[in-house]
């Protein structure tokens, strides 16, 4: 151990060619150090280790034993949060392999041959020539060996509890009666695994393909290309010229259609559940009808049909009522007009 005082410095030099530079006051001022020398089997020094601690005194530097004890706090030994699951997975694999071996021995069990039986090839439909004192007896495993399924189910349940991933989070229904809210939660979580696979597919498969297509088009596009584009808002068809410079930009294309669809579906389900519950009646006075209309229009993708306008229902009802009044007025005028007395309807020949 170096005999140094608190906040002392170390005189260390650096040699570059024939130039020697003192680094004590530039890099190592205020450090404390611990030097250790490793000696090989032949008695010669192999490694010289210098450990530095910045702005600390010897009394404040933690010993190696203290660091190890901190890692083991509240635990029997230093381990990660999923190490228990890894160990139990090894045990689960062992039981699955053991069960598979027992199943193989059940389908094709060893044979106990008594007497002088002629050699044969074991298989379906094989004819055996057995002497009077001979016999061929299959030796299947003990049926109790298949009780390992109960042990496997117990281990899997324990692993789920340790990982904090209950089956309800994946939409798998557990035994017992369920309330309407619990059933809705299971339905919402039922597509979680599928949505995760869709997200993984879009990120790892679609996204690289789309960017590679753009990159290929950028390298190989030598002329101007004309594309037919339809405006979603106006419904107008436009012809846009695309050049190589238009494809030259910094960024990355990301397919987000599947992700948005799952999120929008979940949002509508949550809103429906809220408005069908007593909470919907409580928040009704503070609810903005126009904002809710805009949310539904955006979520359902109904913008191009222009189904929602401010108070459009009142204006259309007024138009309908106006036409109804005009029709009634016309009918009354026709009924009030007198019929001429001398008007005779022509008779058919």
Q: In total, how many domains does the chain have?
A: 2
103 with 158, same domain? Answer: yes
156 and 99 in a common domain: yes
DSSP 141: P
Between helix 257-275 and helix 180-190 the angle, nearest 10°, is 180
**Residue at 184 is within a domain:** no
Q: What local confidence, expressed as pLDDT, does residue 121 receive?
A: 84
**101 part of a folded domain:** yes
Kindly provide the b/e burial profile for residues 316-341, where b requires at least 16 CB atoms within 10 angstroms of the residue's own CB.
eeeeeeeeeeeeeeeeeeeeeeeeee
pLDDT for 145 equals: 83
> What span, in angstroms and rounded, lies between the C-alpha atoms of 114 and 68?
64
How many helices (H) does the chain have, and how many strands (E)? Answer: 10, 8
User: Is 269 a member of any domain?
Assistant: no
Which of 165, 194, 214 is a domain's end point?
Answer: 165
What is the pLDDT at residue 43?
Answer: 57
Q: Are residues 105 and 53 in the same domain?
A: no
Closest CA to 168 of 189, 194, 196: 189
Give φ, ψ of 32 to 5 degrees: -115, 150
Q: Are 102 and 132 found together in one domain?
A: yes
Question: Residue 186 falls within a domain, yes or no?
Answer: no
Of residues 2, 31, 26, the one with CA closest to residue 14: 26
Nearest to 300 by CA among 273, 268, 257, 259: 268
Using the 3D structure, point to which of 146, 165, 184 is the last residue of a domain: 165
Give residue 44's domain range: 13-61
Write out the chain's pLDDT in tens, 349 residues.
444 444 444 455 556 556 666 554 444 444 445 555 555 556 565 555 555 544 444 455 455 555 555 555 555 555 566 677 888 888 999 999 988 888 888 888 888 888 888 888 888 888 888 888 889 888 888 888 888 889 998 988 888 777 776 777 777 777 778 777 677 677 767 777 777 777 888 888 888 898 898 888 888 888 888 888 877 667 688 888 888 888 777 778 887 765 667 677 778 888 888 998 899 999 999 999 999 998 998 888 888 788 888 889 999 999 999 999 999 999 988 888 775 555 555 555 4
User: CA nearest 108: which of 123, 97, 119?
Assistant: 123
51 and 98, same domain (yes or no)? no
Are both 99 and 145 inside the same structural domain?
yes
What's residue 7's pLDDT?
Answer: 44
Chosen domain end from 130, 150, 165: 165
Answer left, alpha or beta for residue 30, where phi above 0 means left and psi between -120 and 50 means alpha: left
- Quick one: which H or E segment has residue 136? strand 135-138
Shared domain check, 102 and 138? yes
Whole-number Å distance between alpha carbons of 211 and 219: 12
* 141 lies in the same domain as 93: yes
pTM above 0.85, yes or no: no
Query: In terms of domains, do 47 and 89 share one?
Result: no
pLDDT for 321: 94
97: in domain: yes
């Amino acid at each position: 151990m170096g005999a140094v005082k608190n906040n002392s410095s170390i005189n260390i030099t650096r040699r570059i060619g024939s130039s020697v530079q003192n680094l004590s006051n530039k890099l190592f001022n205020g450090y404390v150090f611990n030097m250790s020398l490793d000696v090989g089997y032949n008695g010669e020094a192999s490694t010289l280790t210098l450990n530095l601690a910045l702005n600390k005194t010897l009394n404040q530097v933690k010993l190696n034993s203290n660091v190890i004890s901190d890692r083991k706090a509240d635990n029997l030994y230093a381990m990660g949060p999923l190490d228990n699951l890894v160990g139990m997975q090894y045990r689960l694999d062992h039981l699955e392999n053991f069960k598979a071996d027992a199943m193989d021995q059940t389908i094709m069990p060893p044979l106990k041959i008594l007497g002088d039986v002629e050699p044969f090839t074991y298989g379906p439909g094989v004819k055996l020539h057995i002497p009077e004192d001979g016999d061929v007896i299959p030796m299947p495993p003990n049926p109790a060996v298949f009780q390992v399924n109960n042990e496997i189910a117990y281990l899997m349940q324990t692993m789920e509890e340790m990982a904090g991933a209950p089956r309800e989070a994946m939409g798998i229904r557990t035994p017992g009666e369920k309330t309407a809210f619990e059933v809705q939660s299971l339905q919402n979580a039922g597509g979680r695994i599928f949505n995760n696979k869709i997200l993984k597919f879009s990120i790892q498969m679609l996204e690289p393909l789309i960017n590679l297509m753009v990159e290929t088009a950028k390298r190989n596009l030598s002329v101007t290309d004309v594309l037919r584009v339809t405006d979603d808002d106006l419904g107008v068809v436009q012809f846009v010229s695309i050049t190589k410079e238009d494809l030259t930009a910094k960024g990355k294309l990301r397919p987000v259609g599947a992700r948005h669809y799952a999120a929008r579906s979940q949002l509508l389900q949550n809103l429906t559940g809220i408005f069908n519950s007593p909470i919907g009646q409580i928040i009704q006075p503070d609810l903005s009808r126009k904002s809710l209309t805009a949310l539904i229009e955006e979520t359902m993708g109904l913008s191009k049909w222009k189904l929602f306008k401010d108070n459009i229902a009142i204006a259309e009802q007024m138009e309908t009522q106006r036409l109804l009044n005009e029709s009634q007025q016309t009918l009354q005028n026709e009924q009030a007009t007198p019929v001429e007395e001398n008007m005779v309807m022509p008779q058919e020949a």
